[in-house]
Amino acid sequence: MSPKKIGILICFLIIKVFIVSNAQCSQSKLNELALNNFREYLRIPSVHPNVNYDKCVIFLKNQAQSLNLPISIYEVRPKKPVVVITWEGTEPEKPSILLNAHMDVVPVFPNQWKYPPFAAHMDEEGNIYARGSQDTKSVSIQYIEAIRRLKLNGTRLKRTIHISFVPDEEIGGKDGMGAFVATQDFEKLNIGFALDEGRATPDDKFLVTYGERTVFQLWVNCTGKPGHGSTLFDNTAGEKLRVVIDRFMDFRASEKAKLRDPKVQPGEVTSVNLDMIQGGVQVNVIPNELSVAFDIRFAPGVNHTKFENMIKGWLKEAGEGISYTIIQQQPPVENTKLDESNIFWHAFEKTCDDNGFKLDIQIRTGASDARYLRKLGIPALGFSPMNNTPTLLHDNNEYLNRDIFLNGIYVFMKIIPAVANAL
């Protein structure tokens, strides 16, 4: 090889190294920015009860400004803001994509945490400890950072993207997404498909949920003959309560037994849990009333009317003077279709297959804001890219590893364009 050719080759290699070095430096800076934003958001204690969302709104305004994207704030209920950041597509007349997550987090017991729950401490292994690290401030920042990188890459999407940050999901979402979907402002967003929160998985698969069980919570009140604690009266509230509890818990055991079949997922059975008992005034006094609360989550396909009639039969069997009061009763909501009729699912699934993202497809065991969207006929998937991670939502020492968090940004960089350009 001539000296001239050698010189040209050396120059080419130097330029290539320079380009790669700059790209790595840029990637490193973007990762640092993403982690800083994640930890800053985690340090905002948007914790129940009586959440103040002001700092969340200020933080999100700054994020929108950094993305050079418009932001809208809707206050459907006083002090319950819904924040929406919008990236307009090249074909904005097409139904848009909603990326949803909630700002609020559940209460904490600080003395049971390794580190302060709102310090966003990152340990030597890169685990970031904070309430909301899994549920769902991680996915909020992953949406933002994925779009930041797509924009920097010069990507343009056909459909408009709306990122929504809603309040009060952890207490049912009635004054958050539940109220927002009933407004003209929501209707104007023209949502055609939505992604909402998922859940961490301990293996290498990503959980995807396409429906969820519906909530039915009630108090059962048993009245009976009061008297001295040393007597054995008939018709006591305690005797009736025992029968009631037995019937509910026997049904619970029969549903739990179905899970012995490894093919049956938790979201495919109806769960029943006894969560509260009230009554009595003193240990030596037979109470005239005892009450018990049950939290029931209906599996898809369960006939709610028939189930409630079954409960009425149990109470009649337990005796007279028994009544029930419904705490919360959600209507059944049709699951999102996972077939060729759903172009967004087809795009989502194909992209995951093409990129080697393994999926675990289930019915969600708990409730999420996606149910309000599905109720309107909007197809919605629950998806948070947190694999190889213990499930710690609502638990003490909730954390997410930095590498899992950063990989989630990469995952969304593949999925967001796929669903936004779905035909």
Exposed/middle/buried for residue 134 (C-beta within 10 Å: 0-12, 13-18, 19+): buried
* Topology agreement, domain 12-212+365-420 and domain 214-329: no
Query: What per-residue confidence (pLDDT) applies to 24?
Result: 58
Give pLDDT tens digits for 377-419.
999 999 999 999 999 999 999 999 999 999 999 999 999 999 9
Residue carrying the six token digits 């396909």: 301
pLDDT band at 366 (very low <50, low <70, confident <90, very high): confident
Of the listed 135, 145, 168, 169, which one is catalytic? 169
Mean of the per-residue pLDDT values for the chain?
A: 94
Q: Predicted confidence band at 26 (pLDDT cuts at 50, 70, 90)?
A: confident
Query: Looking at the predicted structure, is the pLDDT value of residue 59 above 60?
Result: yes
| pLDDT tens digits, one per residue of 133-177 | 999 999 999 999 999 999 999 999 999 999 999 999 999 999 999
Lookup: tokens for 422: 């779905």
Q: Which is it for strands 121-122 and 127-129: parallel, antiparallel or unpaired?
A: antiparallel
Q: Shortest CA distance to 46 belongs to which of 30, 36, 58, 34?
A: 58
Q: How many residues would you count in the chain?
A: 423
| Amino acid 58: pLDDT | 98
Farthest-apart Cα atoms in the chain, separation: 111
Domain ranges of the chain: 12-212+365-420, 214-329
Report the top-level CATH class of 214-329: alpha beta
Segment 191-240, tens digit of pLDDT: 999 999 999 999 999 999 999 999 999 999 999 999 999 999 999 999 99
Q: Report the percent of the chain where pLDDT is more than 70.
A: 94
pLDDT > 90? residue 7: no
Read off φ and ψ for residue 399, nearest 5 degrees: -150, 165
pLDDT value at position 11?
52
**What pairs with residue 376 in β-bridges?**
none
308-347 pLDDT, tens digit per residue, is: 999 999 999 999 999 999 999 988 899 999 998 999 999 9
- Which of the residues 104, 175, 196, 212 is marked catalytic? 104
Question: Which CATH code, of 2.60.40.10, 3.40.630.10, 3.40.800.10, 3.40.1640.10, is assigned to 12-212+365-420?
Answer: 3.40.630.10
pLDDT digits (tens, 9 = 90+) for 84-132: 999 999 999 999 999 999 999 999 999 999 999 999 999 999 999 999 9
Q: 127: part of which helix (H) or strand (E)? A: strand 127-129
Which is it for the CA torsion 401, 33, 103, 190, positive or negative? negative
User: 25 falls in which pLDDT band (50, 70, 90)?
Assistant: low
Give the tokens for residue 234. Answer: 């008939």
What is the structure's pLDDT at 18? Answer: 44
* 46 vs 5, higher pLDDT: 46
Active site residue 204: no
Catalytic residue list contains 212: no
Cis link prior to 391 (omega < 30° from 0)? no
